[in-house]
A and B are shown apart, each in its own frame.
Chain A
Amino acid sequence: MINKIRGSALELMEMIPSGSSIAVGGFGVTGVPMDLCDALCELDRRDLHIVANNAGIDPRGVGRLAEEGRIRKFTGSFPSNKEFHRRLLAGEIEVELVPQGTLAERLRAAGAGIPAFYTPTSAGTDLALGTYPSRYDSAGRPLEYMPPKDVRVFDGRPAVLEYALHVDFALVKADRADRLGNVAFRLSARNFNPVAAMAAKTVFVEARHIVEVGELAPDDIHLPGIYVDHVVQSQEGIGR
């Protein structure tokens, strides 16, 4: 029998060693797996490569990972967190800045078996020309730049080559999940969660509600259990 329900967020995050690459779902504070991020902090995991849209605007979630200096490298579109910026300019963090749609598609491509693709997004900009700093020295001077992207012209329009973004682990926030790992999201909390799950070798889901198999109608399963390895009850759902 398949049973992906586990006891606690701490028990799950024990499986993630320091230095791992982790895709974290969520957009701003919506759909962020807060308990799983807290557990990573409590277990003192460090040198993480975090892939997420934001670097956190909240004292929890990816924001907490950034505040506590647990991020070695960040890949995402909008890490406009002040502490993150301070650490970047102090040479403590490497950044890979990716346009939001390209980020979503690189994660999806990783999960869909597509090694790379071309997109017009970012062609001719600093993010594609090798002119955007990815690392600074301790005095805030650029040390390294994001590599230039290969360009091909399709129908007269330049497009850049983008690679699939594979990660070791994904942390996902669900509204409902069952023991098979089937997941339903709610409203705009879906955002990056499905593509984060697709891109990872091992996927952890924090669900507001754990439901019986069959309670989620086939049409309502947004992330089928085949993508999911472990499910834990979110503290947010307790008492609801």
Chain B
Amino acid sequence: MSNATAAAPASIERPDTVDGGWKREEIAARAARDIPDGSYVNLGMGIPQLVADYLDPAREVFLHSENGILGMGGAPPEDEIDVDMTDAGKRPVTIVPGGAVFDSSDSFAMIRGGHLDLAVLGAMEVSVRGDIANWTAPGRTPGVGGAMDLVLGAKSVWVLMTHCDRKGGPKLVPACTLPLTGPRVVRRVVTNLGVFEPAEDGFTALELAPGISEETVIRNTGAPVRFAAR
């Protein structure tokens, strides 16, 4: 660890959006690199879905879909779409050899019972303690889906998201202001600016995206950031 622990400045001047660093696909690829061989993984909506495209073919990773699939494969060609085979986002998918199907109560027994190694989810806010807010915000249509089951049930939770919201405000925060999905569950966050871990009194930056300075990270993070050796 370097000794560069820096408090967030009291008055933060932010650009409208943070465009620098990794693109969505690169965030997904960075996360995919760290998913171990033999893992059972659930991928949430948004950037997490892209992780499927970047998994190392040399590793056997089984994707879980909460509507009742273990061993979910990619999208089928147009002429091979099966109306009985969709993912939790209602898109047509395939199943890999050795894959299994089951009903919703079994699917959530796997999740709630702690059998899933990893849930990779999107989020609107992540706090220094690892709290996550990702299911609703004012004005949204109602819907919780499997978010609350996943954050508490999976052995580990990673969040993939943009570092700032659309108005340029930080999504890595001292405490969540949006309705909580679950407390103290997030182990790792990958954003366009780098790889981070909640560290109780702030965030630890494990890695920065190419061309991103410590100063950019500090300016766009709502809590203190400590920088691990690069």
Binding site for B on A (CB under 8 A): 27-31, 53, 57, 77-82, 84-85, 88, 95, 97-105, 107-108, 119-127, 175, 186-195, 222
Question: Which parts of B95-113 form the interface with A (CB within 8 Å)?
Answer: 95, 101-105, 107-108, 111-112
Majority secondary structure of chain B interface residues (helix, strand, loop or mixed):
loop
Residue numbers in A under 8 Å from B146 (CB-CB): 77, 99-101
With A29-B83, A186-B84 given, can you name 19 additional A-B contacts, CB distance below 8 Å? A30-B85, A30-B90, A53-B104, A79-B142, A85-B141, A99-B149, A100-B66, A100-B145, A104-B104, A108-B105, A123-B152, A124-B183, A187-B95, A189-B83, A189-B84, A190-B103, A192-B103, A194-B105, A222-B103
The interface centre, meaning the residue of A27, A57, A194 with most chain B CB atoms within 10 A of its CB, is: A27
A contact residues around B148 at 8 Å (CB):
99, 102, 121-122, 125, 127
Chain A residue nearest to B136 in the complex (CB) = A126
Q: List 12 A-B contacts (CB under 8 A).
A: A30-B85, A77-B145, A77-B146, A85-B141, A100-B146, A104-B105, A124-B183, A126-B180, A187-B101, A188-B67, A189-B83, A222-B103
Give B142-167 as 1s and 0s: 1 = Cβ < 8 Å from A's Cβ atoms: 11111111001100000000000000
**Contacts A30-B67, A57-B90 given: A175-B103 contact, CB under 8 Å?**
no
Q: What is the distance, in angstroms, from A54's C-beta to the closest C-beta of chain B?
A: 9
Q: Give chain B's interface residues, CB within 8 Å of chain A.
A: 65-69, 82-88, 90, 95, 101-105, 107-108, 111-112, 136, 141-149, 152-153, 179-183
B84 touches A188 (CB 8 A): yes
Given that A80-B143, A125-B181, A125-B182 are known contacts, is A102 also in contact with B149, CB under 8 Å in the complex? Answer: yes
Q: Please name all residues of chain B whose beta carbon is closer than 8 Å to the beta carbon of A100 when the two chains form the complex.
A: 66, 104, 108, 144-146, 149
Interface Cβ pair total, 8 Å cutoff: 138
B105 & A30 in contact (Cβ 8 Å cutoff): no
Known: A80-B143, A100-B144. A191 touches B68 (CB 8 A): yes
CA distance A103 to B115 in the complex (A): 19
B123 to chain A, nearest CB (A): 14
Asked if B180 and A195 sit within 8 Å, CB to CB, the answer is: no
Question: Does the CB pair A31–B84 fall under 8 Å?
Answer: yes
Q: In terms of DSSP, what is the predominant structure of the interface of chain A?
A: mixed
Q: Taking CB as reference atom, which chain B residue is nearest A78?
A: B143
- The winner among B66, B149, B180, B182 for most chain A CB atoms within 10 A is B149
Flag if A188 contacts B90 (CB, 8 Å): no
List of A residues within 8 angstroms of B102 by Cβ: 190
Tell me whether A28 and B103 are in contact (CB under 8 A).
no
- Asked if B67 and A27 make an inter-chain contact with CB atoms under 8 angstroms apart, the answer reads yes
A102 to B104, CA, bound (A): 10
| Contact (Cβ within 8 A) A192 B104 | yes
Q: Report the minimal beta-carbon distance from B79 to chain A, rounded to whole angstroms.
A: 17
Decide: A194 and B103 in contact? CB cutoff 8 A: yes
B141 contacts A81, CB within 8 Å? yes
Q: Are B144 and A78 in contact (CB under 8 A)?
A: yes
Contacts of B86 in A (CB 8 A): 27-30, 188
B141 contacts A80, CB within 8 Å?
yes
Top 10 closest pairs, chain A to chain B, by CB: A101-B108, A28-B90, A101-B149, A104-B104, A80-B143, A100-B146, A189-B84, A80-B141, A78-B143, A187-B84
